[in-house]
Amino acid sequence: MKTEFVSKRAKPYADVPDEKWNDWRWQLSNRLNTVDEIGEIIPLTESERKALQTQGLFRVDITPYFISLIDPDDPEDPVRRQVIPRAEELQAFTAMMEDSLAEDRHSPVPGLVHRYPDRVLMLVTTQCASYCRYCTRSRIVGDPHQTFKREEFEMQIEYLKRTPQVRDVLLSGGDPLVLAPKILEELLSRLREIPHIEIIRIGSRVPVFMPMRVTQELCDMLAKYHPLWMNIHVNHSNEISKELAEACDRLTRVGIPLGNQSVLLAGVNDNVHIQRQLVQDLVRIRVRPYYLYQCDLVEGAGHFRTPVAKGIEIMEGLRGHTSGYAVPQYIIDAPGGGGKIPVMPNYLLSMSDHKIILRNYEGYIATYEEPTDYLPSKAAKFKGVKRVEAGQEGLVSLLEGKEMFIKPEGFDELHNRHGIQHRLKNEEKWKPLGIGSEESADGTKE
């Protein structure tokens, strides 16, 4: 059944003037983080009180807007569970890690994670509008002492300038949209000055925590740096309000494609009906479901984890049962830095050299005959290299079927400066390449 997206405001905020309520700076400066402040809005359980009074717990901050989405009479409210800590955060669970994705190990310079060949993650702040209790980067996020300095930003830009295989930069943190507007625009303009960077992406939960930040002025500024994409982070349909729908509308109208990354969380959205409602509501506000993440092995989040079988069950209940546009990829971000691995139900039952056996979402079995006279296309002659393919186990370029190892200028200097050891396979095979010059890998000129 189609739901209507509505505005909500908790009773204690009923007398706040609209001009203040709709000011994102007011929302930031009036965040709630103590037992007394949160208890004025929501009756707290003993578990929540214990967690909020524990020293050293991951930071708590909740915008007045977002806490207003919580049903104060429901201790299991799905929005509540995401931002108000419980005593379970104090428990020690097996297999949990501080840096489960080994991001620090893949950082050639502070705040820059280069795990995949043609794209990097650029951490631009450690601050957020509100803080998710399952935060992957809780080791640094929310800590006022873990800020990125100007000189570290310059090192990030310098690395990107001298690493031409990078064509895609994802800004994250923390949350880039909590930065001062001038700083955010400087970041974008500096990235746009680098010729080989084709795409800029922003990962942000600010439109969800504080949609009033998505002003027309912000949207017009972002539109100056196209192609620019944005992924937001909604885990449950209760987070989709009239304000969020309007914020997404402003972003899409200036040409910013929107995706959604959600996390599979026990007690929040580990149900196929909840997930189906979520993805359908997202598509209604022109946000395409992108990833459904398995909860990471991060300390303090063990009580949110589900079996992987639960995620596969949910994907089984989405594929074929709703629009293809509304079906995300179910992803496990491999512990230890292996990157994102898609996991899905098995629709391919068997395979031979002449046919494959498939099943559909209803269990219908089909046979697909394989071609017997298939001739693969011939690869076009490779005349030069404009971008070096990169991997964290060595920079590999496959030129005309010949494996060559190409080390960008300054690679060792940047990596050794920060004490990061990269295991480079077959290092004796490295051959020089004038990065940024007109010379190609085989010595010819373009």
Residue 295 is among the residues annotated as catalytic for this protein? no
The per-residue pLDDT for 297 is 87
Q: Is residue 129 within 8 Å of residue 206, measured between CB atoms?
A: yes
Catalytic option among 80, 81, 86, 137: 137
Residue 288 is among the residues annotated as catalytic for this protein? no
Catalytic option among 31, 86, 128, 219: 128
Residue 333 is among the residues annotated as catalytic for this protein? yes
Read off the amino acid at residue 311. G
Catalytic option among 135, 219, 248, 295: 135
For residue 229, CA distances in Å to 175, 251, 327 come to: 15, 10, 19
For residue 263, CA distances in Å to 192, 219, 274, 296, 329 come to: 31, 26, 13, 9, 11
| 225-248: pLDDT as tens digits | 999 999 999 999 999 999 999 999
Percentage of the chain exceeding pLDDT 70: 81
The per-residue pLDDT for 100 is 58
Q: Is residue 138 within 8 Å of residue 299, measured between CB atoms?
A: yes
**Strand 199-203 relative to strand 228-232, pairing:** parallel
| 157-175: pLDDT as tens digits | 999 999 999 999 999 989 9
| 302-324: pLDDT as tens digits | 999 999 999 999 999 999 999 99
| 48-91: pLDDT as tens digits | 999 999 998 899 999 999 999 999 999 999 999 999 999 999 88
Rounded CA separation 295/283 (Å): 23
Residue 119 is among the residues annotated as catalytic for this protein? yes
Q: Is residue 423 within 8 Å of residue 417, measured between CB atoms?
A: no
Residue 219 is among the residues annotated as catalytic for this protein? no
Catalytic option among 116, 249, 387, 407: 116
Rounded to 5 degrees, what are φ and ψ at 208? -90, -45
Rounded CA separation 160/118 (Å): 11
Rounded CA separation 57/29 (Å): 21
Q: 3.50.50.60, 3.20.20.70, 3.40.50.300, 3.30.1200.10: which CATH number matches 104-344?
A: 3.20.20.70
Rounded CA separation 241/281 (Å): 10
Rounded CA separation 321/317 (Å): 6
Q: Which of the two residues, 431 and 177, has the higher pLDDT score?
A: 177
Total Cβ atoms within 10 A of residue 258? 20
Rounded CA separation 259/230 (Å): 6
The encoded tokens of residue 174 equal 């923390």
**Confidence at 346, pLDDT banded by 50, 70, 90:** very high
The pTM of the whole model exceeds 0.85: no
Residue 387 has pLDDT above 80, yes or no: no
Domain with CATH 3.20.20.70 in the chain: 104-344
Distance between first and last Cα of the chain: 60
Residue 353 is among the residues annotated as catalytic for this protein? no
Residue 340 is among the residues annotated as catalytic for this protein? yes
Total Cβ atoms within 10 A of residue 426? 10
Residue 137 is among the residues annotated as catalytic for this protein? yes
Percentage of the chain exceeding pLDDT 90: 67
Residue 248 is among the residues annotated as catalytic for this protein? no
| 110-160: pLDDT as tens digits | 889 998 899 999 999 999 999 999 998 877 787 777 777 888 899 999 999
Catalytic option among 31, 81, 86, 119: 119
Q: Is residue 68 within 8 Å of residue 97, measured between CB atoms?
A: no
Rounded CA separation 33/100 (Å): 26
Q: Which of the two residues, 316 and 96, has the higher pLDDT score?
A: 316
Catalytic option among 31, 80, 86, 115: 115
The encoded tokens of residue 320 equal 């074929």
